[in-house]
Amino acid sequence: MAAGSESKLQLVHRHIRAFPDFPKKGILFRDICPILKDAAALTAVIDLFEEHVRNNHQQVDLIVGLDARGFLFGPLLAQRLGIGFVLIRKKGKLPGATVSVSYDLEYGKAEAEVQEDAVAAGQKVLLIDDLLATGGMQRQVWWKKRATRSWNKKCDKGLNKQDKCQNHGKASLPQ
């Protein structure tokens, strides 16, 4: 990693707070709100995402953001790359025909959906959740994308994320 990227990574790390036992006992919640309120830290996150995509995934057609943190970083990255952005939302939040899937989270169960026409056959997408999740939603979304046959590429970025989406182009900023 280049020196500039390393200093950006350090800046991002300094803006992440840890809250043990939130939202329930045994969960270490890493709060990214300080990143969002600091322009330099937020710019560093998007710079690092952009660098990774431009170096490793030049053929991306759309950024797909998972509800809700994927909505924070995904549109900024899509704008930087000059491509569109697609939402994957909690069930019942999108109008029109949708495809949905149930999945387990580290602290419960949930259901997500995407509009059926959000991604055309053959388009390559980059899936972005947040910086720190464990991967429950990503695994299920990947299954859904394969099942609908309209999604054909996945790159999931996260900070210190466990590799639970093997062999699908998953990447992390820092280790």
- Amino acid (1-letter code) at residue 83: I
Is 106 annotated as catalytic?
yes
Q: Of residues 69, 89, 113, 139, which has the active-site annotation?
A: 69
Buried b (16+ CB within 10 A) or exposed e, 11-41: bbeebbeeeeeeeeeeeeebebeebeeeeeb
User: Has 113 been annotated as catalytic?
Assistant: no
- Which one from 17, 54, 106, 146 is the annotated catalytic residue? 106
Q: Residue 175's Cα: distance from chain center in Å?
A: 16
Task: Give the number of other CB atoms < 10 A from CB of residue 56.
Answer: 12
Rounded Cα distance, 61 and 130, in Å = 20
Active-site amino acid positions: 69, 106
